[in-house]
């Protein structure tokens, strides 16, 4: 975090690598199997979120503080540690999704699942220690190769028209989707793009404010152009009959690579895997930073937090959820906990320091409780309910905090 030596292209490459991971590639492909071009929702919301991050980049760069530091200055060290802890919650979901998808790629290539898990874990540990500038160039080349491979598969399936008509198909698909679920998905993804420390770390590491906002803008353009490629490739392959025999929707993209790549198929999914690991690397770095914020680690144990983080991600990756669903389910807990407090902070309204942590805990616990009930099938609760429940619970604490002293004064 102390080094500020990234140019705009490096910032853009790292932001894209943090976005263009398994959720972007395999998650979009998995969703496209069931929802067509509407499966690009994760990718397009991420691209639009980068534009919002570009607007905030100069201020973020000058402040040099991640979100838990900002909240800590306003409400004290207890809130700072709580935000960092909640950040670990949502980032663990993202990391688990990367590991889940990485395993799917290797299994599609013929590696046993247990061996694939070990390979992914070791790769993340090694890559999270690579210098940022070098990582930017490595991932940039891998991302270029990934999109060439996807474009090749798209052309092989006669799917250029699918890509060229992606926007109308996407808008039509989103219009037919349940509105509440769409709104919650947009909120859960977009909020984390702007406030997520895995993105903020690269903005802060830029050489100048200009490099920070320009890097965000370049990343947004790249993601917007490439965001429809995974879903368009899956839709075109489906129409061409290339998904016959597919048993796991999460493996749709690597399956297509193997079906259309010929002798280059394994190489193509290897490039995709390496590009996808870029996202896991960024999240691992950010989670290590959050852990050190909670409890500083001695120099000789500097690798211990990353080992612990990757082990936790591997454990969550076995939950059986879809890739994007894994991310959103934990994103929602974070947004429900700090969303209202963040809006109040950005509009210049200060909350009582003792009220802030109670608001956050109330939102997080309520959201987690409803999520657990929804996943277990209790009461047939809708999947979108945890987010509004958590925000309402947080708002009730804030209202009650102001209402009770007022009631006491009226009675006296």
Task: Please check whether residue 398 lies inside any domain of the structure.
Answer: no
Q: How does residue 1 score in pLDDT terms, banded at 50, 70 and 90? A: very low
Q: What mean pLDDT comes out for the span 109-138?
A: 78
Residue 250 has pLDDT above 90, yes or no: no
Tell me how far apart the alpha carbons of residues 363 and 369 are, in angstroms, rounded to a whole number: 10
Q: What pLDDT is attached to residue 323?
A: 86
What's the rounded mean pLDDT across residues 289-299?
65
Q: What one-character DSSP code corresponds to residue 27?
A: I
Q: Is a pLDDT exceeding 60 seen at residue 34?
A: yes
**What's residue 346's pLDDT?**
86
Domain for residue 317, yes or no?
A: yes
Which three-class secondary structure state does DSSP give residue 139? Answer: helix
pLDDT tens readout for residues 307-360: 888 888 888 887 777 888 888 988 999 999 999 999 998 888 888 888 999 999
Each residue's pLDDT tens digit, 270-283: 877 876 677 777 77
How far apart CA 327 and CA 348 sit, in angstroms, is: 30
SS (HEC) of 344-402: HHHCCCCCCCCHHHHHHHHHHHHHHHHHHHHHHCHHHCCCCCHHHHHHHHHHHHHHHHH
Average pLDDT value for residue range 98-108: 84
User: In percent, how much of the chain has pLDDT > 70?
Assistant: 91
Whole-angstrom distance, CA of residue 164 vs CA of residue 166 = 6
CA angle 151/239/45 to nearest 5° reads 55
Q: What is the reported pLDDT for 280?
A: 79
Assess whether pLDDT exceeds 60 at residue 176: yes
Q: What is the mean pLDDT of the chain?
A: 85
Instruction: Indicate whether 115 belongs to any domain.
Output: yes
- The answer, yes or no, to whether residue 20 has pLDDT greater than 50, is yes
Phi, psi of 220 (to 5 degrees): -65, -45
Does 350 reside within a domain?
no
pTM of this structure: 0.86
- Is residue 66 within 8 A of residue 200, CB to CB? The reply is yes
In a domain, 134, yes or no: yes
Digit-coded pLDDT (tens) for 200-223: 889 999 999 999 999 999 999 999
pLDDT one-digit tens code per residue, 37-76: 999 999 999 999 999 999 999 989 988 888 888 898 889 8
What pairs with residue 206 in β-bridges?
6
Q: What confidence score (pLDDT) does residue 127 get? A: 80
Give the Cα separation of 377 and 246 in Å (integer): 28
Owning domain of residue 34: 8-323
Of 118-127, 129-138, 150-159, 235-244, minimum mean pLDDT range: 129-138
How high is the pLDDT of residue 52? 94
Report the alpha-carbon distance of residue 323 to residue 240 in Å, rounded.
Answer: 25
Q: What CATH number does the domain containing 29 carry?
A: 1.20.1730.10
Contact status, residue 236 vs residue 164, Cβ threshold 8 Å: no
Q: How many domains does the chain fold into?
A: 1
What pLDDT score was predicted for residue 61? 92
In a domain, 295, yes or no: yes
Tens digits of residue pLDDT in 366-383: 999 998 888 777 778 888
Is-contact 3 205, C-beta < 8 A? yes
Query: Which residues lie closer than 8 Å to 278 by C-beta, 6 or more apart?
Result: 14, 17, 18, 20, 21, 127, 135, 139, 142, 143
- Strand, coil or helix: what is 228? coil
Query: In this predicted structure, what is the pLDDT of residue 243?
Result: 87
- Domain presence at residue 23: yes
In a domain, 377, yes or no: no
Burial of 175 (0-12, 13-18, 19+ CB in 10 A): exposed
Position 227 pLDDT exceeds 60: yes
Determine phi and psi for 383, rounding to 5 degrees: -70, -20
Confidence of residue 262 (pLDDT cuts 50, 70, 90): low
Contacts of 53 (CB under 8 A, 6+ apart): 193, 194, 199, 203, 216
């Amino acid at each position: 975090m102390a080094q500020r030596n990234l140019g705009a292209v490096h910032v853009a490459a790292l932001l894209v690598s943090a976005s263009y991971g398994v959720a972007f590639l395999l998650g979009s492909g998995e969703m496209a199997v069931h929802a067509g071009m509407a499966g690009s929702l994760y990718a397009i919301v991420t691209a639009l979120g980068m534009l919002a991050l570009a607007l905030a980049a100069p201020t973020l760069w000058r402040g040099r503080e991640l979100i838990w530091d900002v909240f800590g200055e306003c409400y004290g060290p207890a809130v700072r540690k709580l935000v960092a802890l909640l950040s670990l919650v949502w980032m663990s979901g993202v990391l688990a999704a990367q590991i889940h998808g990485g395993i799917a790629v290797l299994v599609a290539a013929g590696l046993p699942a247990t061996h694939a898990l070990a390979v992914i874990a070791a790769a993340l540990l090694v890559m999270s220690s690579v210098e940022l500038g070098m990582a930017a160039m490595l991932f940039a080349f891998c991302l270029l190769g990934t999109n060439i491979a996807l474009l090749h598969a798209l052309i092989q399936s006669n799917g250029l028209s699918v890509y060229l008509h992606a926007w109308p198909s996407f808008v039509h698909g989103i219009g037919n989707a349940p509105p509440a679920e769409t709104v919650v998905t947009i909120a859960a993804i977009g909020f984390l793009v702007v406030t997520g420390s895995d993105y903020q770390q690269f903005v802060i590491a830029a050489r100048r404010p200009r490099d920070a906002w320009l890097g965000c803008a370049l990343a947004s353009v790249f993601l917007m152009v490439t965001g429809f490629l995974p879903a368009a490739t899956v839709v075109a392959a489906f129409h061409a009959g290339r998904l016959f025999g597919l048993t796991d929707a999460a493996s749709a993209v690597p399956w297509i690579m193997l079906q259309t790549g010929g002798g280059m198929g394994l190489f193509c999914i290897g490039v995709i895997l390496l590009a996808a690991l870029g996202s896991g690397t960024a999240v691992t770095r950010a989670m290590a930073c959050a852990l050190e914020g909670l409890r500083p680690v001695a120099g000789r144990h500097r690798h211990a937090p990353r080992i612990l983080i990757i082990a936790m991600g591997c454990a969550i990756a076995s939950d059986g959820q879809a890739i994007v669903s894994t991310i959103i389910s934990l994103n929602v807990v974070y947004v429900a906990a700090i969303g209202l407090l963040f809006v109040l902070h950005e509009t210049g309204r200060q909350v009582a320091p003792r009220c802030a942590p109670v608001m956050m805990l109330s939102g997080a616990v309520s959201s987690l409780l409803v999520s657990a009930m929804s996943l277990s099938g209790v009461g047939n609760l809708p999947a979108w309910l945890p987010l509004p429940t958590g925000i309402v619970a947080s708002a009730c604490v804030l209202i009650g905090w102001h209402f009770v002293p007022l009631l006491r004064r009226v009675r006296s």
